[in-house]
Structure 1
Amino acid sequence: MDYSSTYRLAQDIRDSEEYKTYHELKEQVMAEETTAALVKEYRKLQMTIQMSAMSGKAADEEDMQRFSGISSLLFSKPEVSRFLLSEMQLQQALADIFKIVTEAADLDIAVPGVEG
């Protein structure tokens, strides 16, 4: 298999507005140590809650409360809110690309959040 088109795709991703916006905002947001720690905790709790949901279990109430509090705090800061939203947009674009590639290979792989 020739991977040259894959490398072109990787460059197209790096050249995309979604990628550029995400990385610009990431540098700004993660430069502040306290905010960076909160973003890391937000992601950790988000993953824990998502894993619980995927396994059919109710998420821990304490985790839910902490996640809600951290989310409110992070999304109250405009620059952090823009960063997290840009991250979601980039993730959605990458999920769309993954869906296109797996369909081309005739693989039946479900991607959470991407309609099939």
Structure 2
Amino acid sequence: MVYDTARQLAQEIAESREYKDYKQAKEKATANETTAGLLKQYHQLQLRAQAVQLGGEKDDALLQQLQKLGEVLLLNQEASAFLLQEFRLNQMVGDVYKILAQAIEVDLGILEEA
């Protein structure tokens, strides 16, 4: 029953406005090879920055590189729209995770500060 409910939730997320907007914005942004490459680089830098932060360290050069690339992407209408829709989708999925975690009393740690 739990897995059936999870499948139903996955289907509802796939049919949500947030996911549809995300998917459409991603298609537009990645249609341009240069923009797609910059977005890939941006996501890789985000992951590296998160890993450094989780390790309790700080890499100012990495954060500056991430910020500069983010500024470049925000100047591109398709990339900017994609990043906004990605944020909205991630926010919804994060909210769902918080609801699930609260129901089973899982400590969210860093997520509760967000």
TM-score exceeds 0.5:
yes
2:6 paired residue number:
6
Unaligned runs of 5+ in 2: none
Q: CA RMSD in A?
A: 1.8
Identity of aligned residues (%): 37
Q: Distance in 1 between matches of 2:96 and 2:2?
A: 18
Which letter maps to 2:39? V
1:111/1:86 CA distance change after superposition, 3 Å: farther
Q: Distance in 2 between matches of 1:26 and 1:16?
A: 15
Q: Distance in 2 between matches of 1:94 and 1:37?
A: 25
Unaligned runs of 5+ in 1: none
1:27 paired residue number:
27
Greater length-normalized contact order (CA 8 Å, ≥ 6 residues apart): 2
Moved more, 46-55 or 17-26: 46-55
SS at match of 1:3: helix
Deviation of the 1:96 alpha carbon: 0.7
1:72-91 maps to which residues of 2 (within 5 A)? Answer: 72-91=71-90
Using structure 1 for the length normalisation, give the TM-score: 0.86
SS at match of 2:106: coil
Deviations 1:53-90 (A, max 9, x none): 222211141x2332222111101112211110110110
More helix by share: 2
1:48-87 maps to which residues of 2 (within 5 A)? Answer: 48-61=48-61, 63-87=62-86
1:100 to 2:99 alignment: yes
